[in-house]
């Protein structure tokens, strides 16, 4: 039997369009919070992915988007931006008062509303890949007509895979994409650079890799758990005239902060370009 709303904070049924990695992470989070598998239906065109979802989670699966959304109280759109318009137009006019949640980069709420012909609540989200291990960071924006209860539902849904932050201006969602949506790749690039530098300084590759990983993990935990901001923690580990100061001075001389700013600006611009390329 489907889970009742008295037993779970989520209105059910919940439909997913797209059964890729991000959908899998959110489904796992929902099940961990007490949603019954049969209260979730996933539309996915790839046979192997459908079978894996059914076998791994016990959720209902479909190869038909229209059938999947029938009767859904919440619809999560987890498809690539390039196919979003096609998917939405297939569902246009079929959703009633269903809450629509999108995790596609660059797709605006106005575009979703037009393509879906939907008058109900819409929440645009930008999660990131650490959601796959329950450590995601997600920015959320809700249209003004989205009810408070629907906002709570969206936050709980995305919060099942990490930490959520509400963004009150949709114009800033491309900045969220640039900062946290793409952000894990920046950390991985830093890890690559640190490992390569350690090897160049004579460390065995395995030692450089292990030391880099643990250093990044430990620093992230300190930033999250200490309650201190990044600038305070940086100052605390930087002795005047010491080795850390020498490295930081080199970063600053090479314009490290400006490099980071330009990179995020490039990612933000690309998010806006994606929306424009997909049209109205």
For the chain, the structural domain boundaries read 14-173, 183-273
- What does the pLDDT read at residue 106? 87
Nearest to 273, CA basis, from 80, 105, 79? 105
pLDDT, residue 105, reads: 87
Mean pLDDT, range 144-166, rounded to an integer? 95
Q: Give the best-scoring range by mean pLDDT among 28-37, 55-64, 126-135.
A: 55-64
* Alpha helices, H only, 63-125: 65-69, 81-91, 109-116
pLDDT of residue 275: 74
Confidence (pLDDT) at 139: 97
**Architecture of the CATH domain 183-273:** Orthogonal Bundle (1.10)
pLDDT at 277: 79
Q: What is the pLDDT of residue 76?
A: 98
pLDDT value, residue 271 = 84
- pTM, two decimal places: 0.88
Identify which has the larger pLDDT, 5 or 53: 53
Look up the CATH number of domain 14-173: 3.40.50.720
Say how far apart CA 216 and CA 260 lie, in whole Å: 18
Per-residue confidence (pLDDT) for residue 4, from 0 to 100:
39
Task: Please determine, for residue 165, whether its predicted confidence score (pLDDT) is greater than 70.
Answer: yes
188-194: which pairs have CB atoms within 8 A and are 24 or more residues apart? 190/216, 191/216
**Which among 9, 66, 65 is positioned nearest to 39, based on CA atoms?**
9
Question: What is the helix, strand, coil percentage profile of the chain, to 5?
Answer: 55, 15, 30
The string over 86-98, giving b where at least 16 C-beta atoms fall within 10 Å of a residue's C-beta and e elsewhere, is: ebbeebeebbeeb
pLDDT value at 2 more than 60: no
Question: What are the tens digits of pLDDT across the range 117-138?
Answer: 999 999 999 999 999 899 999 9
């Amino acid at each position: 039997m489907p889970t009742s709303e008295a037993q779970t904070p989520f209105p059910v049924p919940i439909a997913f369009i797209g059964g890729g990695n991000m959908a899998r992470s959110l489904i796992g989070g929902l099940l961990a919070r007490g949603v019954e598998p049969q209260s979730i239906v996933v539309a996915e065109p790839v046979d192997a992915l459908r079978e894996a979802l059914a076998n791994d989670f016990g959720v209902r699966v479909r190869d038909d988007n229209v059938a999947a959304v029938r009767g859904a109280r919440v619809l999560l759109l987890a498809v690539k931006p390039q196919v979003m318009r096609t998917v939405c137009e297939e569902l246009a006019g079929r959703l009633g008062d269903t809450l629509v949640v999108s995790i596609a980069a660059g797709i605006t709420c106005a575009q979703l509303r037009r393509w879906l012909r939907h008058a109900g609540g819409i929440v645009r989200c930008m999660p990131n890949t650490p959601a796959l291990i329950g450590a995601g960071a997600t920015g959320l924006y809700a249209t003004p007509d989205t009810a408070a209860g629907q906002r709570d539902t969206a936050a709980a849904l995305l919060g099942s895979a990490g930490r959520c932050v509400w963004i009150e201006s949709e114009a800033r969602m491309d900045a969220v994409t640039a900062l946290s949506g793409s952000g894990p790749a920046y950390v991985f690039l830093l890890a690559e650079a640190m490992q390569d530098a350690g090897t160049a300084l004579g460390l065995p590759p395995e030692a450089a890799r292990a030391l880099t990983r643990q250093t990044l993990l430990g620093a992230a935990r300190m930033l999250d758990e200490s309650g201190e901001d990044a600038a305070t923690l940086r100052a605390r580990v930087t002795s005047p005239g010491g080795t850390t100061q020498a490295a930081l001075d080199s970063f600053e001389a090479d314009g490290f902060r400006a490099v980071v700013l330009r990179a995020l600006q490039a990612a933000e611009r690309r998010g806006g370009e994606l929306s424009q390329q997909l049209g109205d």
